[in-house]
Chain A
Amino acid sequence: PFWLKCAEGTPTQFAKSSLTRLLAVNLRASPHKMGTEAMFAVKGKDFVIIAADAMTAFSVMKLKDDYDKIWEVEGKLFAASGPSADASNFMEFIEKNINLHTLRTGLKLSTKASANYTRNELAQSLRKKGSYQTDLLIGGVDADGPKLYFMDYMGSSESVNKAAHGYGAMFTFGLMDRYWKPDMELEEAKDIIRKC
């Protein structure tokens, strides 16, 4: 038996097997399977462009090479990387909740609100049932202009001009820093994505 202290200071007894399960959940949460998949995004003058690779694999076998990782939710784009189980499970949940919000209130959430909502869900899951191993790129255009959010599986979220996830990111950050400039036209942005 193992003793665990609760908030009030009274010890609670956990059976060894339960503790193992508890540890197992947390351990599963920590090693982040950095993607062999890559995604890139760039913000232009009145648009956001997001690109994601289309491979999904099981161990060493490529299952599909036309798998769409970019979800369209109420006019916003969510690119979700990571194991397809985590990505699809998490994104289906987010998609349905955002749709429900639109139905209930008659108003579409802004990109900022959608991103904040999503990051809250990631942050809460991390501390309850373990993480969704999903890194996200969220893009949308609202009345006050285009917005791009870089989000990782722990729920950190930042509004940025350019972003990338996966091993590919290591190579392309420098590239994007070199070529990105404010208020780009679509062709210029496409060019950067092509280079990435």
Chain B
Amino acid sequence: MARRYDSQTTTFSPEGRLYQVEYAMEAINLAGSTIGILADDAVILAGEKKTTSKLLDQGKQHEKLFKIDDNMFCAVAGITSDANVLINKLRVSAARHAYTYGESMPVEQLTTSICDVKQGYTQFGGLRPFGVSFLIAGYDESHGFQLYHTDPSGNFSGWKAYAIGINNNTAQQIMRQDWKEGMKLQEALELTAKVLTKTMDTANPNAEKLEFGIVEKTESGKVRFRMLSDAEVNKLMADAAPKEGETEAEK
């Protein structure tokens, strides 16, 4: 019965569902593990890369994490080409705001603007929705460090910790238990690494398969986005793994 109402994006089913939007969300559940964690003094996003091959000539091209402006960056899960279009829109929005107001765009405003774009594709035009979910992380003066999740329907919400992509349920379970109020950057990084060891599709997670990024305030009070170096990532994942081994031994 569903088949009759699922081919047009802008049509409701008799039960009041938008099947195309739901199918788009399915596409994201197959994407690489992506985690976001809000700490007291930073926001962390980490993503598992799906395309890793010796023959890949990536250069500086990222797959999971993208800078939007000095105070914001995002992690992508879903169809990469769709994501590239939306990331461009995000960057233009942020730049336009900074041009008009002389200040960085507040994170929630940016999230709202991209969600309005996504929502448009579920209501008019007859085009399919974007098969992309974002985790948007950033800092602004009004609400401090923030983490938002957006989905293909154009809905968004703010989170203290969130996971999308493969094994996101497992990740959320661990985060529900271990996320604490008042965590600092290092603790939050360790928690991220711990979650990733459990959810990633691979036996030995290392920097080749991961992208780790943070937004933090420097000592001078300036906000800055930074990607962790390969060495830092490898150390984090290596430290997380033995703890994993210990709990296994205890069992």
Chain A interfacial positions (CB closer than 8 Å to B): 105, 107, 109-110, 112-113, 115-117, 120, 143
Q: Which residue of B lies closest to A110 (CB)?
A: B103
A105 CB contacts on chain B under 8 angstroms: 106, 108-109
B101 CB contacts on chain A under 8 angstroms: 109, 112-113, 116-117
Which of A112, A120, A143 lies in contact with B103, CB distance below 8 A? Answer: A112
| 24 chain-A/chain-B pairs, Cβ below 8 angstroms | A105-B106, A105-B108, A105-B109, A107-B106, A107-B142, A109-B101, A110-B103, A110-B141, A112-B101, A112-B102, A112-B103, A113-B101, A113-B102, A113-B103, A115-B102, A116-B100, A116-B101, A116-B102, A116-B103, A117-B100, A117-B101, A120-B99, A120-B100, A143-B141
Chain B interfacial positions (CB closer than 8 Å to A): 99-103, 106, 108-109, 141-142
Q: Nearest Cβ distance between residue B113 and chain A, in whole angstroms?
A: 10
Complex Cα distance, B42 from A127, in Å, reads 43
Q: Nearest Cβ distance between residue B109 and chain A, in whole angstroms?
A: 6
Q: Which residue of A lies closest to B142 (CB)?
A: A107
What are the 4 A-B residue pairs with the smallest beta carbon separation, nearest first? Answer: A116-B102, A113-B101, A113-B103, A116-B101
Complex Cα distance, B100 from A27, in Å, reads 28
Complex Cα distance, B96 from A117, in Å, reads 11
Complex Cα distance, B101 from A117, in Å, reads 5
Complex Cα distance, B102 from A113, in Å, reads 6
Complex Cα distance, B101 from A113, in Å, reads 4
Q: Which residue of B lies closest to A121 (CB)?
A: B100
Q: Nearest Cβ distance between residue B74 and chain A, in whole angstroms?
A: 20
B108 CB contacts on chain A under 8 angstroms: 105
Q: Nearest Cβ distance between residue A120 and chain B, in whole angstroms?
A: 5
Complex Cα distance, B46 from A146, in Å, reads 40
Q: Which of B100, B102, B106 counts the most A-chain CB atoms under 10 A from its CB?
A: B102
A112 CB contacts on chain B under 8 angstroms: 101-103
Complex Cα distance, B103 from A107, in Å, reads 14
Q: Nearest Cβ distance between residue A150 and chain B, in whole angstroms?
A: 15
